[in-house]
Homo-oligomer: A and B are copies of this chain.
Amino acid sequence: MKETIGFIGLGIMGGGMARNLLKAGFEVHVWNRTASRMAPIVDAGAQAAANAAAAASHADLIILCVSKTEDVEEVLFKENGVVQDAKPGSLIIDTSTISPQATISIEARLRKAGLRMLDAPISGGSEGAADGTLSIMVGGDETDVTRAMGALEAMASRITHVGGTGAGQMVKLVNQILVAGNMMAISEALIFAQKGGLDLRKTLEAVKHGAAGSWMLSNRGTQAIVRNFEPGFTIDLQQKDLRLVLETADALGIPLPMISQIFQLYRSLQEQGLGGEGNHALVMALENLAGIQINTIGE
């Protein structure tokens, strides 16, 4: 018999994930701050709850998919929050990307309240959420990971238990350092190629299968050279995550020269009103510095 699930946060990611839980045969009670987002998921078979506490009240597993650290604290601990009505021993699975340090204190607070928690941030974009092919990086106790596995497998194709509480969030931040850094490399490469008079399409074709290759180059690089900056992941969300990286690095006492610089460049794009563009629009910050625009040549 499958667990009953409370699902809180039906944004572009959460919506797809809740649908996949329904498809897999789970009973799902949903709640979203903007109520209109619940309707299509209810049509797909979910029960609408009046608030986070109500969504949690029938559930064995309570999945959170919200944006920021404050949002997680709010849906858990404020009035009509999860803690108010959750059954003793319920397991909270937080798929949001939030502060690793805050995650540790949130988990301790929940434990005192008789509840369990895993941090389980996701990557793989809206396509991954819709298709059930997300990657999930899980931090917490082995027994809780085992307990969550059925639900996690309904939403993701790659689930890695990376360590104790907070480790999932830390690995997600490692992921974001790599994504942003690879995009920075691509941005400098494209500006250099453009000013050097190269055909950008042929250039990517020549380098992407070798030692220079990356997921970002094959996917976002090829989008960038046709000036398609439609977001897989927006600059605003990328900045939220890089802010967590820099705050965490500061707390840990380590310098991150490259990520600091990238943060400043994304900041300049946000100030230009480009925060809703895809994170590969980082190349536009380099275009601004260089005073040129990239584009395909010879087509």
> Chain A, interface size: which category?
35 or more
Contact between chains at B170 and A193 (CB < 8 Å): yes
| Min C-beta distance of A219 to chain B, whole Å | 8
In the complex, which residues 197-219 of chain A have their Cβ closer than 8 Å to any Cβ of chain B? 197-199, 202-203, 205-207, 209-217, 219
Residues of B within 8 A of A199 (CB): 162-163
8 Å CB interface, A174-222 against B: 174-182, 184-186, 188-189, 191-193, 195-199, 202-203, 205-207, 209-217, 219
User: Is A123 part of the binding interface, using a Cβ–Cβ cutoff of 8 Å?
Assistant: yes
User: Contacts A167-B198, A189-B181 known; A255 to B289 CB distance under 8 Å?
Assistant: yes
Segment at the B interface, from A15-23, A83-91, A244-252:
A244-252
A50 interface contact, C-beta 8 A: no
Chain B residues closer than 8 Å to A228, beta-carbon distance:
none
Q: Please name all residues of chain B whose beta carbon is closer than 8 Å to the beta carbon of A163 when the two chains form the complex.
A: 197-199, 202
The yes or no answer to A100 lying at the interface (CB within 8 A) is: yes
Query: Is the beta-carbon distance between A212 and B215 smaller than 8 angstroms?
Result: yes
Contact, CB under 8 Å: B175 / A196: no
Give, as a whole number of angstroms, the nearest-CB distance from A51 to chain B.
34
Chain B contacts of A184 at CB under 8 A? 181, 185, 258
Task: Known A160-B205, A193-B174, A202-B160; judge A135-B210 contact (CB<8 A).
Answer: yes
Contact status A261-B259, CB under 8 Å: no
Q: Are B191 and A254 in contact (CB under 8 A)?
A: yes
A273 close to B (CB within 8 Å): no
Among B179, B188, B254, which residue has its beta carbon within 8 angstroms of that of A292? B254
Is A213 in contact with B214, judged by CB distance below 8 angstroms?
Answer: yes
Q: Which one of B174, B192, B211 contacts A189 once the chains associate, using CB atoms below 8 Å? A: B174
Annotate A224-253 by CB proximity to B: 1 below 8 A, 0 otherwise.
Answer: 000000000000000000000100110011
Chain B: CB-nearest residue to A133: B210
Shortest CB-to-CB span from A197 to chain B, Å, is 8
Contact with B along A153-175 (1 / 0, CB 8 A): 00000101011000100110111
Among A123, A207, A217: residue with most chain B CB under 10 A: A207
A46 to chain B, nearest CB (A): 28
Q: Taking the complex as formed, is A125 at the interface, i.e. its CB lies under 8 A from any CB of chain B? A: yes
| Interface presence of A290 (CB below 8 A) | yes
A137 within 8 A of B: yes
Decide yes or no: A125 and B193 within 8 Å by CB, A181-B188, A198-B171 being known contacts: no
A252 contact from B125, B196, B219, Cβ within 8 A:
B196
Enumerate 6 A-B pairs (CB-CB under 8 Å) in ascending A order: A160-B202, A162-B202, A178-B186, A178-B217, A191-B254, A258-B261
6 nearest A-B pairs in the assembled complex, by CB-CB distance: A181-B185, A214-B214, A178-B212, A160-B206, A177-B189, A254-B290
